[in-house]
Structure 1
Amino acid sequence: MNHHLLLIIGLLLFCSSCSQEKSNEQRMLDDILQEGTYTIPEEAAENLDFSDFGELSELEQHLIDAGLVDIKSVLPEVYVDLKYSSEDNFFGQDVYGDLQNCYMQPEVAEMLAIAHKALKNAHPELTFLIYDAVRPLSVQQILWDNLDKPASVKPLYVADPKEGSLHNFGVAVDLTLAYQENSEALDMGTAYDYFGYPAYPDREQEMLKEGKITPKHIENRKILRAAMKAGGFSGIASEWWHFNAFSKKQAREKFEIIP
């Protein structure tokens, strides 16, 4: 066999190998596009370097160390918009920094999953949009110290850190309803953290008569309250968005304040 023939055979074999490799890569890409995930072979995973993915923030690691869970790990279909990780809150300051995930006690997350199931059964097009859950006592102190109100009225806006709040135990959640398809929040009549009677559940009929809120606002709030009640939560008189999983007495017996 002459050298030219050997060279041709070698090239054919090489191209065949390249074609097979390309085919394997194409199949991998097809799997990713169709399934949304790709399982990395164990022998390849051992050599991966995840350092470029970044480290958890100090606050997030603190919450994990305290035994709290990220609600998205339990309910991936809910939306999260932590208002205190932005300046879109009642006193215009970001106090959570890099924290974007929402944490709460595992038992509370399970209760919220039950509430979410009840919501989906009644209104499949809706989901929860969570604004806040656990609030470490250190952050509560920041809110208290930076609130530009007289000390006598501060407790109307923020719980006194000396007393603590159910947020500090990780057993309270602030949330609203949103459309599953686009995360657009339903109109509840007021913004989150609105301080005034239009936000008070126990003043809804009065505010309706005065034209401060509409029947649709009340209807939306009732949908939220019904779902949360199904999960074992209770609301409060002054904030349509706030729900407690336990009383303060129960929280003190079951959990520790998150410092």
Structure 2
Amino acid sequence: MPVPRREPRLSAASALAATILVAAIPLPALADALPNGFVRLADVDPSIRQDIRYAGSDNFLHREVNGYDAPACILTEQAAKALSAIQKAIAAKSLTLVVFDCYRPAPAVADMGEWTKQGGPPDPQWYPKVRRSELIAKGYVGELSTHSRGSTVDVAIARTGRRSSPNPACGGVDADTLDFGTGFDCFDPMSETAHRGLAIEAAANRRMLVDAMRAGGFRNYAREWWHFTLKSEPFTRLRFDFPITAD
């Protein structure tokens, strides 16, 4: 029967030397790393205002959405740099971008879909004319989302140094944003970018936003004035599921 091999015992001095050697080897960072190609918007352009709605309760679910562990905007590097260029262009007019949602984890999209199945009456603030169970069928909540590809952003424009304080009848809005006729995530035909019947100022602000984003390489989703996707997005067929975490 073979005799088990015994490892030689280290002297106290040798053990101490080994401990020092291990301590000197740099260990990998324990912080949550982003997938290759993704960045935090604050690291690219901290001047862009962030008001990430799904990380709190000021949204159509009235609660935090699964996957939003922190109120942070994460985007592909290309999308973040394109937004930064737009920010620099409008800063000359004392304006700033305000982002409400950026990358959206696939579990968050599923959470929204499951939430609609619970049913319920219209919500005067968020979906005043349809029932909760109709939000997917009416196209207001998607079973899939371009946000999960990392190059789509929900955005508005605000003035720097001056409060606008719009009070839309539908949707949620940052207190400093310009008047866009509705707030972000108003699930109603009024949110269609070219909706007729808007006040002159609101219509002009929507055109300004679309023009600024188009000049920066983004295309608008016609049913939502706030929704834009980078035309040259790097991940056209991939959807990601990593959570949104703090730095």
Does residue 257 of structure 1 match 2:239? yes
Matched with 1:166 is 146
| Distance in 2 separating the partners of 1:252 and 1:225 | 22
Q: Is residue 218–residue 231 contact of structure 2 (8 Å, CA) maintained in 1?
A: yes
Indicate the structure (1 or 2) with the bigger Cα radius of gyration: 1
Q: What CA RMSD, in Å, does the superposition of the two structures yield over aligned residues?
A: 2.3
Shift of 1:153: 3.8
Shift of 1:154: 4.1
In the alignment, structure 1 segments of 5+ residues that lack a partner are 1-54
Matched with 1:99 is 70
| Distance in 2 separating the partners of 1:190 and 1:70 | 28
1:72 is matched by which residue type in structure 2? A
1:99 is matched by which residue type in structure 2? A
TM-score of the two chains, using structure 1 as the length reference: 0.65
Q: Deviation string for 1:129-180 (max 9, x for gaps)?
A: 10001001011101111123337844612211xxx32100111000101122
In the alignment, structure 2 segments of 5+ residues that lack a partner are 1-29, 120-131, 164-175, 242-247
Matched with 1:114 is 85
Task: Check 1:152–1:71 CA distance in 2 against 1; reply closer, same or farther (3 A cut).
Answer: closer
Matched with 2:178 is 186
| Distance in 2 separating the partners of 1:154 and 1:182 | 40
Secondary structure of the corresponding residue to residue 91 of structure 2: helix
Does residue 143 of structure 1 match 2:143? no
Q: Which has the higher helix share?
A: 1
Matched with 1:9 is none
Which of 106, 124, 140 pairs up with 1:157?
Answer: 140
TM-score of the two chains, using structure 2 as the length reference: 0.68
Secondary structure of the corresponding residue to residue 156 of structure 2: strand
Secondary structure of the corresponding residue to residue 96 of structure 2: strand
Q: Deviation string for 1:39-82 (max 9, x for gaps)?
A: xxxxxxxxxxxxxxxx96xxxx36x2454211111111111010
Task: Check 1:69–1:152 CA distance in 2 against 1; reply closer, same or farther (3 A cut).
Answer: closer
Secondary structure of the corresponding residue to residue 156 of structure 1: coil
Percent pairwise identity = 28
Shift of 1:117: 2.4
Task: Check 1:219–1:178 CA distance in 2 against 1; reply closer, same or farther (3 A cut).
Answer: same
Does residue 241 of structure 1 match 2:230? no
| Distance in 2 separating the partners of 1:90 and 1:247 | 30
Shift of 1:120: 2.5
Structure with more relative contact order (C-alpha pairs < 8 Å, separation 6 or more): 2
Q: Is residue 159–residue 165 contact of structure 1 (8 Å, CA) maintained in 2?
A: yes
Which of 203, 217, 222 pairs up with 2:202?
Answer: 217
Does residue 85 of structure 1 match 2:85? no
